[in-house]
Amino acid sequence: MKRSTQVIGQSGVFLDALERASRAAALDRPVLVIGERGTGKELVAERLHHLSPRWDQPLVTMNCAALPETLIEAELFGHEAGAFTGASKARAGRFEEADGGTLFLDELGTLSMGAQERLLRAVEYGEVTRIGASRPLRVDVRIVAATNEHLPDRVEANTFRADLLDRLCFEVVTLPPLRARKSDIPVLADFFGRRMSSELGRDEWPGFTPEIEQEMRDYRWPGNVRELRNVVERAVYRWERPGAIGSIEFDPFASPYRPSGANGKRPEPAPASAPLAVSADEDDEVAACEVGPSDFKSRVALFERDLLTKSLAEHRFNQRATAEALGLSYDQLRHALRRHDLIGAVA
- Judgement on whether residues 223 and 235 belong to the same structural domain of the protein: yes
Q: Do 59 and 143 belong to one domain?
A: yes
Within this chain, do residues 226 and 247 fall inside the same structural domain, yes or no? yes
Cβ neighbours of 188 (radius 10 Å): 19
Pair 169, 214 in one domain: no
Residues 305 and 170 in one domain: no
User: What's the pLDDT at 270?
Assistant: 46
DSSP code of 331? Answer: H
pLDDT at residue 345, as a whole number: 58
Give residue 283's pLDDT band: very low, low, confident or very high (50, 70, 90): very low
Q: Is the pLDDT of residue 144 over 60?
A: yes
Amino acid at 340: H
Of 141-150, 163-172, 309-318, the one with minimum mean pLDDT is 309-318
Give the per-residue pLDDT at 286: 37
Amino acid in position 65: A
In this prediction, residues 196-220 reach a mean pLDDT of: 94
Stretch 235-254: mean pLDDT, rounded? 93
* Distance in angstroms (rounded) separating the CA atoms of residues 145 and 167: 12
User: What is the rounded average pLDDT of the residues 264-285?
Assistant: 43
Rounded Cα–Cα distance for residues 315 and 333 (Å): 13
Residue type for 165, please? Answer: L
Element (H, E) at 138: strand 137-138
Residue 60 has pLDDT above 60, yes or no: yes
User: For residues 96 and 137, what is the distance between their CA atoms, to the nearest angstrom?
Assistant: 8
Residues 23 and 166 in one domain: yes
Provide the 8-state DSSP code for 291. Answer: S
More confident residue, 214 or 309: 214
Q: Into how many domains does the chain fold? A: 3
Which domain, by its residues, includes 229? 182-252
Whether residue 277 is found in the same domain as residue 248: no
- Give the residue, 205 or 333, on which the prediction is more confident: 205
H-run or E-run covering 230: helix 224-238
**Span 88-108, pLDDT tens digits:** 788 888 999 999 999 999 999
340 in the same domain as 264: yes
Q: Which among 317, 315, 316 is positioned nearest to 325, based on CA atoms?
A: 315
Secondary structure in 3-state letters for 155-223: HHCCCCCHHHHHHHCCEEEECCCHHHCHHHHHHHHHHHHHHHHHHCCCCCCCCECHHHHHHHHHCCCCC
CB 125 within 8 A of CB 84: no
Going by C-alpha positions, the residue among 137, 131, 134, 65 that lies closest to residue 97 is 137
- Contact residues for 117 (Cβ-Cβ < 8 A; gap 6+): 161, 164
- Compute how many other C-beta atoms are within 10 angstroms of the C-beta atom of residue 313: 11
pLDDT of residue 195: 95
Buried b (16+ CB within 10 A) or exposed e, 19-28: ebbeebbeee
Tell me, yes or no, whether 2 lies in a domain: no
**Does 3 map to a domain?**
no
Q: 3-class SS at 329?
A: coil
Instruction: State whether 239 and 265 are in the same domain.
Output: no
Who has greater pLDDT, 283 or 183?
183
Of the pLDDT bands very low, low, confident and very high (cuts 50, 70, 90), residue 166 is very high
Using CA atoms, how far residue 42 sits from 5, 6, 17, 62, 329, in Å, is 11, 11, 14, 11, 36
Closest CA to 276 of 250, 305, 253: 305
SS3 131: strand
What CATH code is carried by the domain that includes residue 218? 1.10.8.60
Q: List, for residues 287-305, the tens digit of each pLDDT value.
A: 333 444 556 677 777 888 8
Do 114 and 248 sit in the same domain of this protein? Answer: no
User: Residue 23 corresponds to which amino acid?
Assistant: R
Residues 154 and 105 reside in one and the same domain: yes
**Residue pair 111/73 in contact by the 8 Å Cβ criterion:** no
What pLDDT, on the 0 to 100 scale, is given for residue 312?
A: 80
- pLDDT confidence tier of residue 27, bands split at 50, 70 and 90: very high
